[in-house]
Amino acid sequence: MTAISPEHDVWEALFRARQLTEPTLRKTVGRLPEPSRSVAEYHFGWQDHEGNPAAGNWGKGIRGALVLASAHAMGAAPEQAVSAAAGVELVHNFSLLHDDLMDRDELRRKRPAVWSLFGDAQAVLTGDALLVVAIEVLSEDPLMLQELCDALLCLVAGQGADLAFEQRADVDLDECLAMAAGKTAALLSSACALGALAAGATARQTAALRRFGHHVGLAFQLVDDLLGIWGQSSVSGKPVGADLRHRKKSLPVVAALSSDVPEARQLAELYLPDAGPLSEAQVREAAHLVDRAGGRSWAEREAERQRDEALTALAAADPAPEGARVLTSLARVITHRRW
C-alpha cells in the first residue's frame, strides 16, 4: 500500500478547508458596506479592480486549515469549526491589508496590493471592517472570542515591535523571536486553540494545541523570512528583497548581525537607520552578507527545532490519529515550503 505523503495530506487539507470556509467568508464579506465590500472582494480575489467577477486566489487558508485539523484531532467533525476557521481567516486578511500598507509592499498574491490600487485610507477601512466581522463571527462563544482577542493583542504588539526595530541598530535574537511570536505565531497558536475549543477539548488539550500552533508559527515566520530574501516572487506572490530594501530586522538578518564575523559588521553598516532604502545592488550584497554571516543556516536550523517542539506539543494533546497526521504534515511542510 502506498504511503500518503505529507505534501498530499497538506494540499488535501488546504483544499478541504477552503471549500468549507469560503461560503462563510463570502457571506460575511458580502455584508460589508461599500466601498469596503468591493475592496475586500478584490483582496480575496473574487473580483478584479474594476469590479468584474474573478476566480482569484484568497490565499492558501493555512490558518483555517489549522482550526479544522485541530478540531478533527480532538475528535470533532471539521464542519463544527467552520465559523472559527472563517473568523481566523478574516483576522489574517485584516492584518495583511494593514501590513502591506505599513511595509509599502506593492504585491500580494501576485496582484497589486490593495493600498496601491485603492489608496491608504481604503486599505485601512477595509482592514478594520474585516476585523469587526471576524469578531462578530465568534461573538456567540465567549471563550473563542477571548482567545481571538488575546491573539490580536499579541499581533499588535508584534507588529509594533517589527516597526520599531527598523529604527534600532541593537536588536537581539530574543527580542526578534518575541516579535515573531506576536506578529505571526499568535494567530496560528490561536487557530489551533480555537479548533480545540470548537471540539470541546479539555483545558490541557487546548493548551497543548496552543503550544503546537505557537511553535509552528515561529517555524512559519523563519521560513517566510528566508523566502523573503532567497525565494521567488513568481512562487510566493510577494516582493522578494523588500525586507532587506527597507532594512527590516527579520530573523536571519538579526542572527547574522549577532555573529562575530567581518560580514556581520559589513551588514551593520548597510543597515544603519535613516539611510533610505537599499538599492538593488545593495539588496543583493545584503543577502550575500546575511548568508556568509550565518543568518541563513541559523534560521534553517531554528525552523527545524521549532517544528520538533511543535510535534512534541501535539503528542501531549493525545490527538486522534487522522487529525494528528494532518497537523504533523502541516508542521513538516511549512518548515520546508517554497511558497
Region 188-212: mean pLDDT is 98
Region 137-156: mean pLDDT is 96
Residue 245 covered by a domain: yes
Lowest mean pLDDT among 116-120, 269-273, 296-300: 269-273
d(CA 127, CA 121): 10
d(CA 180, CA 159): 9
Domain residues for the domain of 15 are: 6-335
More confident of the two residues 104 and 308: 308
The grid coordinates of residue 15 equal: 483544499
Contacts 24+ apart (CB under 8 A), 258-261: 258/172, 258/173, 259/293, 259/294, 259/295, 261/292, 261/293, 261/294
d(CA 200, CA 44): 31
Residue 54 covered by a domain: yes
Supply the pTM of this predicted model: 0.94
Specify the number of domains making up the chain.
Answer: 1
Region 305-326: mean pLDDT is 96
pLDDT digits (tens, 9 = 90+) for 229-253: 999 877 666 678 988 998 999 999 9
Mean pLDDT for the chain?
94
Residue 246 covered by a domain: yes
- pLDDT over 70 at 216, yes or no: yes
Residue 96 covered by a domain: yes
d(CA 124, CA 101): 8
Residue 1 covered by a domain: no
% of the chain at pLDDT higher than 90: 83
Q: Are 229 and 203 in contact (CB under 8 A)?
A: no
Q: Which residues pair with 111 in a beta bridge?
A: 108
More confident of the two residues 111 and 5: 111
- pLDDT over 70 at 2, yes or no: no
pLDDT of 200 reads: 97
pLDDT of 12 reads: 93
Q: Where are the alpha helices (DSSP H) in 232-320?
A: 233-236, 242-245, 251-257, 262-270, 280-292, 295-316
Is the Cα dihedral 76, 78, 83, 86 positive or negative?
positive
pLDDT of 1 reads: 44
% of the chain at pLDDT higher than 70: 97
Q: Are 90 and 133 in contact (CB under 8 A)?
A: yes
pLDDT digits (tens, 9 = 90+) for 16-45: 999 999 999 999 999 999 999 999 999 999
List the CATH number of the domain containing 233.
1.10.600.10
